Structure 1
Amino acid sequence: MSAIKGRFKAVLFKAGVFALVLGPVLGTPANAAPTQAQAGQVARKDTLIVPGNVNIPAPDIWNPYIPGTFILQGMNQNLMEPLFMLNYETGNIDGWLAESYTNSPDMTQWTVKLRPGTEWSDGQPLTSDDVVFTIQMLQQYAPQLNWSGAVKQWVQSVQALDDRTIQFTLTGPNPRFVMENLAGTTSQAIVPVPKHLWQGQDPVTFKYSYNNGAGAIFSGPYVVDTFASTEFDYKRNDNWWGARTGAFPLPAPLEIRRPWVGDDGTRLQMLASNDSDVDGPQTPSQLNALVAQNPNLKPYGPQGWVDPCPRMLTLNTTIAPWDNKVMRHALSYAMDRQQIVNVVNEGVGATSNFIFPTYKAMQPYIDGGQEVLTTAGVGEFNPDKAHQLIESQGYKLDSGSGHYVGPEGTTLSVDIVAPQTVGVDANLRLIEWGIFRDQNGRGQFQAATDWDGCGSVVEPWFGMNRYSKSWVNPIGTAGTEYVDNTSNAGRWSNDQYSALMDQMGNLAIGDPQVMPLYKQALAIWADELPDIPLVQTPSYLLFNQTYWTNWPTQDNDYVQPPAHWEHFLKVLTQLKPAQ
C-alpha cells in the first residue's frame, strides 16, 4: 500500500536462527517543518490539510503508469478518477466516471457506459475514445507500464461503440474483470488519460509535467495549484463535471494541502493543535493521548480500521538459500508474530498466517484454510524447528560467532530491504520509496518487508493470483504492479498452482467450486511458502472535526476511510464544514 501505512522498526537477531521483531517508531530521521499555505487567501476553515511522511525527490511526474511513480501525494485522491469503485462497506461496485456495466453470458465481453458530461479539467470532453486510447496504450507497452500486464493478459480488443460506450472483448472468461481492473480491489484502479494530450508521447518516459497547467490534466474535482518535494497543494475545480452534471456534490474544501512532515511526533502534534485534519498515530496509547489532548479528534473505531494488506516478508525465490522451501520454512518458524502484535500494536490486532485480511467476506476462506496452514506450520513460532530445518540443509552452528555456516563456509544471512518511510530500524537496509518499488519490481533484492499478497477483500482469487507464474519476469525486468506492489515480486513459479488460479479465475464470485480449488492451491502455497505472512495491519485513523465533519468512521461507514486511496474522492464529496 503506502508509506502512510503502519511504520515498523525491525531488529534482526542472529543466534543460529533469525527472529524478526517489529516495533513502533515514535519518530523518523528525516524532518520537515509544516509548510505555510501557498494560497494565503483561503481560510483555514475552507482548507483540508492531510500531511504525509513521504518526501518525493521528483515531484513533477504526473504519469501514474510509470513503475515506481508515487501517486499518493494527491494524484490518486484528488486528480485521477476511476470508472468504478469497490465499496468495502456495502460490497457494491459503484459507478464513478462510468454509470453502469454489463457482460455477456460467457463473461468474455463487457460493455461500460460513461456518465453524461464527463470532462477533463482543461474543459475538453472525456469520452470513450480516451478510455480506448488508455487501454490500447497499456496493451502496446506491456509489461513496461503499471497495469499493463493485466490488460495484455485479459483484453483481446477494446472499441468505442459511441462517445459514451466502451466494449471490451476478453481473451477468455473473467467474471472479475471490472472489479479487478476498472474498480480496483484496494487503493487504485486503471484510470483513463486524455488522448488529446498523450497521443504521440512515449508513455514509458512521458512525465506529464505540470508545465504551468498544460500538463497534469485529469478529470477529478481538484487541480494542481503548487507543488514541491515538501508539499502538494490543490485547488477546487469549481467547474468539475461531477457537480455540474449533478452526479456528485461539489466538495466543500476550497483547497487541499498535503505537506510532507517527516517527523511522526510533529505530524501528530499538528492534529492535536488543529493544524491538520486526518492522520494516524502508531499505537492505541498514542491515539488515546491525542484524543485526550483534543476532544474534536474522532477515531475510526476503538480497534482501528483493518488494512486490507497484511504485512509479509517476501523472499526472492531465485536466490540461494531462499530458493529452497526448507529454508523459507525455517525462517518462518523463527518469526515471533505475537511479539510483533504485542510490541507494535500494544496487543491490538492479530497475527497472520496467510495473505487475507480479517474481513467478513473473507472469513469463510480464512476458516476453511486453517487446517491446511496449521498442518504446514505456517504462522507457528518454533525456534527448535527452525534450528532443525537449517541444520538439515548442511549448516553448522559456529560456536565462535554464534552464526550458522554453510558447507562452503558462507555465513547464513538475509539482506532485508524496506521502504525508508516505514521507519524500519537501520539494522536493515533502508532505501527510498521509489527505489524500493523499482528494485522490488525488478527482483533485485533478497528479502523485503511488504504486502506482496494484498488484494483479496471479497473473494480469494485476486490476492492468490498474484503468485501465478504468469507475472514472473526475468530478474532486472520491471514487474507488473498492483496496489503499490509488484505481483509475484519473489519470482515463485509453480505450474500446478498457476493452473488452479486459471481455473478459479474463470468462476464467478461465490461459485461453490471456488472453495475446493482454493484449498488445493492453498496446500501448494503452504508447502512451498513463497512469502512469509506476519501480521494483520490495524490502522489507527483519527479524524479532526474542528473544521470538517461527516468522516467515514465505523459508525458512519459509507466508504473505506484511508486518505491515500482513490476512494477518498467520495469522502471529499461527503465532508461537511463544521464552521
Structure 2
Amino acid sequence: MKRSIYLIMLSLIISASLACAGETVTETIVEEKIVEVPVDREVIKEVEVEVEKVVTKEKIVEKIVPPPDYKPGNRGDVARDDTLIITGFGPGATQWEGFDNLNPYSLGGLGRVRGILNKTIYEYMYYYNHNTGEQIPWLATSYDTHADGMGVDVTLRDGIEWSDGVAFTCDDVKYTIELLRDTEELVFASDMNEWVKDVDCKDDHNFTINLNKPNVRFFYFYFVENSEIHIQILPKHVWEKEDPLEFNNWDPDKGYPVGTGPYVAVEASAQGQIFDRNDAWWASKVGFSHQPVPLRIAYIPPGSADTAAARTINNEFDVASIMQPGVFLAAKSKNPNVKSWAVEGPSWGAADACLYTLGLNTQWGAMSDVNVRRAINRTVDREKLVMLAYESSTVARGIPYSTYGGLLAYEQKQADLIAKYDPTKHDLAEAADHMALSGWTKDGDGMYTKDGAKFTFDLHVPGWLKPMGPVLEKQFKDGGFDTTFVLHDPDNAPMFDKVRTGNADAWVVVHCGSSNEPWGTLQHYHSKFAAPSQGEMNSYIWGNSHYNNPDYDAIIDQMDAVPGDPNSAEYMALADQALEYFLKDITEVTLAEERHVVTFNDTYWKGMMSANDPYVAPYSLWAAFIQVVLNVSKAQ
C-alpha cells in the first residue's frame, strides 16, 4: 500500500538590504515540500502499524519588496560573491567593441543580444529547452497557429511591466514587428517583411499575427526557439521617439535600455558591461518568478584562449568560454570547480543542433555520381575521425539530426529505416563495389582509376574545422581516392564562394538545422536553395549540396504545411520518405555531432545546468540561458 501526500511548509525569515533608493525588504521563503510519503507495513506484536517514510525537498527563494519610491539603477560596490561574471562564449576578444551601443536591431545587433542582452534586459514570448523539447511560456501564455497557417493567435501574460514601470501591452508587440517589417536595414527585417502582413491587437493582451503566406512554424521559429533568431519586443513609448537606425539605446541616466528583464544596464566600457538587478522586476511582483539571486551581472571580455582558461582556473569567470577538450581537462585538474556539461568524459561537450558534415556537390563534377557518393560514405571511418580529430569529445552521427530530446522521438520512430541503410558503416569492400558500378577500379597502387586517370578531388576545410582535414584526407587516400586537403585559414570566403556556386567537389562544414523536428534540416535539400547553374550563387547558406530532385521537393513542399509531430502518421510518412532519399542518394555525409565543451566555474555559484540536470541547454548565447541566471544560488 502506498499513498502520496503533498504539503508545503513555509517559514519566513525577514531581512533587509539597501537598494539605490529607500529600503528594499527581502523575504527569504523556505519552501519545504513533502514530495512523497510511501507507507510500509510493519507487524509489531501481531498488530499492523503503518510507518511513514518522508522524503523532503527544500528550496529557498527570495521575494523582493522594494519601497514605493524605488528606481532600478547602479548599486555601487557589489561583492564578488553577489556578482555573476559571464565572459564571451568563445575566446578571443580582449575588449568589447561598440560597448555603448545596445540597439538590438541595428547593424551588429544580433551579436549584442546573444552576447548579454538576452539574459539581462530582454525577455521573450517563450523559451525552449532543447534537451527535452519543452516550450516554456514567458511573456506569452499561449499561442495557436491557424489551421491554414495564415496567422497566429497569441495571449500575453498579465502584469508585465517595462523597467520604467510602464505596462507592456500588445501595442509594443505590434510596434516592434511592424517596425521590422517596414525598416529594411534592421536585423530580421527581411524575414518580417516576407512573412508578416500585420499585427491585429484585440486588446492589451490578445493579438493575431496575420501572415502573407502559410507558415505553420512561424511562431516557433521566430518567437519560441530563440537560439540563432531573437525577436525582442521594444517599448513603443521609448522607440517611437527615436530613429531606430541611429538610436544606440544607452543612457543610464534615462534608464536606457528599457526592457522587461530582471536587470538594468548601469555601466559600459571596453573592459566590461555591468547590469544590476531590478528589485521591481514585474515577474517577482506578480508572483510569476522569484528574483535572481545575483545582485549584479558583469559581462567581461575573455581574452585569448590561454588567458580565458587561466582566468577560469583563477575563479574570475563563472560562466566561461568554450575550451578544447585537452585544455578543459588541464583546467579541471588545476581547479575541480571548473565544470562542463557532461559529468564524465570523454564527450564533455553539449549538442547544439549542428552537425559536422562532409558536403558533396550532387549536381556537378566528380561527386554528381551517386555511386561515388555511396563509396565516399563507406570510406569514412567516423569513429576514428572523432577520436583523432576531437579526442573522442563528440559522437559519430549518420543522420542529419541532433541528439536533442525533441528529435529523439522521431529518430526512434525511424530506427528501422536508419538500420536499413546503416549510414555510419565503414566498409572499404562495399565502397569498391559502388565504385565498380561506375567503372572505377583500383590500380596497382590501390588508387581508383578509369580510362587511365585517377579519381582526384580537393577537400576544402575552413580553419576552425582544421582537425578533420588531415584525418579525412588520409582515410580517402587509404581508401583509393587521390585527395588533397585544402585549408582555408584565416580567410574562408573563397572556399564558401566555390562551395555555394557549385565549383567545389567536397568540403567540410558545420550544418545547423533541426532542433525539434526532422523538417528543420531536411528542407535544406530542396532544389529551391541550390544554385540555378554552376557558377551562380545559391540562395541559402545550407543549400550547398545543390541537390535537385523533383520528387524530394514535392515531399518537402507537403511537409511545409504539416506541423511536426512524431505521433502524426501524415508527418512521419513524409519524414520517412525524405530521410530515405537523404540516405539513399547521400545528399550529404553526416560525420559527427558538433559538441562544444562549454565551461563553468561553481566556486561562487551553484545550480548550473548539466547533463544530470538538463533544465536548459548550456549555451550562454541562447535566450533560454536566463533560466540559469534565475536558477543559480550562492555556493557558500
TM-score where L is the length of structure 1:
0.73
Q: Contact 2:119 / 2:625 at 8 angstroms: preserved in 1?
A: yes
Distance 2:585 2:522 in 1: 14
Report the equivalent of 1:8. none
Report the equivalent of 2:24. none
Name whichever of 207-216 and 175-184 sits farther off: 207-216
| Residue identity matched to 1:551 | M
Name whichever of 569-578 and 256-265 sits farther off: 256-265
Map residues 296-307 of structure 1 onto 2, 5 A cutoff.
296-300=337-341, 301-303=343-345, 304=348, 306-307=350-351
Report the equivalent of 1:313. 357
Q: Higher strand share goes to which structure?
A: 2
Distance 1:197 1:547 in 2: 37
Report the equivalent of 2:514. 455
- The Cα shift of 1:550 comes to 2.0
Find out whether 1:464 has 2:522 as its counterpart. Answer: yes
| Residue identity matched to 2:141 | E
Greater relative CO (CA pairs within 8 A, separation 6+): 1
- The Cα shift of 1:184 comes to 0.9
| Residue identity matched to 2:169 | T
- The Cα shift of 1:517 comes to 0.9
Report the equivalent of 1:336. 381
Q: Contact 2:461 / 2:486 at 8 angstroms: preserved in 1?
A: no
One of 150, 155, 158 as aligned partner of 1:113: 155
Find out whether 1:48 has 2:93 as its counterpart. Answer: no
Distance 1:391 1:102 in 2: 54
Report the equivalent of 1:278. 319
Distance 1:67 1:494 in 2: 37
- The Cα shift of 1:362 comes to 2.7
Report the equivalent of 1:240. 281
Return closer, same or farther for 1:558/1:456 CA change in 2, 3 Å cut-off: closer
Report the equivalent of 2:561. 506
SS in 2 for 1:553: coil
One of 94, 100, 110 as aligned partner of 2:142: 100
- The Cα shift of 1:549 comes to 1.7
CA radius of gyration, larger in: 2
- The Cα shift of 1:62 comes to 3.6
Map residues 143-542 of structure 1 onto 2, 5 A cutoff.
145-146=187-188, 148-149=190-191, 151=192, 155-170=196-211, 175-184=216-225, 186=227, 188-196=229-237, 206=245, 208-212=247-251, 217-227=258-268, 231-279=272-320, 282=323, 287=328, 289-300=330-341, 301-303=343-345, 304=348, 306-313=350-357, 315=359, 317=361, 320-321=364-365, 324=368, 326=370, 332-347=377-392, 349-369=394-414, 372=417, 378-381=423-426, 412-418=457-463, 428-431=487-490, 449-457=508-516, 459-469=517-527, 486=541, 488=543, 492-508=547-563, 509=565, 510-542=567-599
- The Cα shift of 1:518 comes to 0.8
Q: Contact 2:126 / 2:223 at 8 angstroms: preserved in 1?
A: yes
Distance 1:412 1:336 in 2: 18
TM-score where L is the length of structure 2:
0.68
Distance 2:451 2:308 in 1: 46
- The Cα shift of 1:44 comes to 1.3
Report the equivalent of 2:22. none
- The Cα shift of 1:69 comes to 4.4
Q: Contact 2:152 / 2:209 at 8 angstroms: preserved in 1?
A: yes
Return closer, same or farther for 1:290/1:522 CA change in 2, 3 Å cut-off: same
Give RMSD over aligned pairs. 4.8
Deviation digits for residues 286-320 of structure 1 (CA, Å, limit 9, x no counterpart): 55554443343455432545414242236485985
Aligned length: 531
Q: Contact 2:84 / 2:294 at 8 angstroms: preserved in 1?
A: yes
Q: Contact 1:65 / 1:147 at 8 angstroms: preserved in 2?
A: no
Deviation digits for residues 309-340 of structure 1 (CA, Å, limit 9, x no counterpart): 24223648598537725465565455432123
Q: Contact 1:398 / 1:405 at 8 angstroms: preserved in 2?
A: no
Distance 1:231 1:479 in 2: 38
Report the equivalent of 1:83. 125
Distance 2:98 2:442 in 1: 47
Name whichever of 277-286 and 302-311 sits farther off: 277-286
Distance 1:526 1:261 in 2: 42
Name whichever of 228-237 and 535-544 sits farther off: 228-237
Distance 1:471 1:387 in 2: 32
Report the equivalent of 1:573. 630
SS in 2 for 1:309: strand
Distance 1:77 1:113 in 2: 23
Return closer, same or farther for 1:424/1:130 CA change in 2, 3 Å cut-off: farther
Unaligned runs of 5+ in 2: 1-73, 471-484
SS in 1 for 2:124: coil
| Residue identity matched to 1:363 | L
SS in 2 for 1:342: helix
Return closer, same or farther for 1:197/1:381 CA change in 2, 3 Å cut-off: farther
- The Cα shift of 1:380 comes to 4.1
- The Cα shift of 1:522 comes to 1.1
Deviation digits for residues 452-501 of structure 1 (CA, Å, limit 9, x no counterpart): 242333x3223323444555688998967xxxxx5536554544333322
